[in-house]
Structure 1
Amino acid sequence: MLKNTAIGIAIGLLVMGGIWGMVHLMGESLSEPNLTAESMPGDSKGVMDLICELELDLDGQLALGIKENEPSRITMAQIDFEKKSGWYQGKIAISESRSGSLQLMGTRLKIYRPAMFQRFGVMITGEEFVVDRKTGRFVQSLSLNDGRNVKLIKGTCAKVIKPPF
């Protein structure tokens, strides 16, 4: 009887492990966006123009006490590998006229700009955004004077291959 129980437990563990593995594999393939490495090639020369669909991150919105509900929006971003800088358009953005400095981190492109201004009732000491070339994922964060780093905007970007005009 003890032998049958042990065999039953072993078979149960194998079946559960197989189910977990299948769910894990299927979950990864379903969660990946349609963007691929070809969407934003790993070439680090020249200028990369991006079009992004962005929205406020709910956690960041709550952390900063933003009550307005902003709809998602389409905007442009640009990475200049020769100048080692970048920017994106928006109300709370690293603008083209005051671009940030570029840091390459594997497939991720990080643009950072120090800041010193008051907004949302807090002092903002830095702004950054990161675009992952592999997935197209965009995340914009604000560094606050109290040491917090708040993710405020998130979305997806793709490389502009030809302008529409």
Structure 2
Amino acid sequence: MTDASYSLCLCVCRCVLLLLQENLAAEVSSLEAAQRSQRDDLLALNEACVRSVGREAEEWARGAVGVLRGCVADMAESCAASEAARLRAASRIASRREEEADGWIRRQAHESAVEELRTESEARRLRVVDLESQVASLRKAQAKAQSDKAVADTKVRRIAETAAELKRRAEE
């Protein structure tokens, strides 16, 4: 092989090498763009999920607290109405018995009314204990709802931190 043909061959090889380098650079650039696009899509999806989970957690917690407040208010109203009706009935019963009786009969009616009031008072006390137990259960449920919200908030914060970290890495 002569020097001229060797030089020509070397020149052709350099041209081919330059073309291959350009093709390789274009391919790398194309792959990087595709990777950036996928990463951006994943980041956008992640951010949408974080927002959605946060909204759902807040809505659920607000709903649970509202239901608990409504239940407690309904129970308090029911107890007050029941107590007022009981007192009116007891007062009417006692008044009738006092009007109909005199002396010994009056004492018997009074003792009977007192015993009924004691029985009703005990029943009311048991009802109050039951209602207090229900209120305690509702408070426990409220605390659980607040705890679940705190857990959801923590998860949302972690997801947001992960998204921020991914975004930061992506920018690097």
Which structure's CA Rg is the greater one?
Answer: 2
Of Structure 1 and Structure 2, the greater helix share is in 2
Q: Which has the higher contact order (CA 8 A, sep 6+)?
A: 2
Q: Into which bin does the TM-score normalised by the smaller protein fall?
A: under 0.3
Query: Scaled by the length of structure 1, what TM-score is found?
Result: 0.25
Normalization by structure 2: what TM-score?
0.24
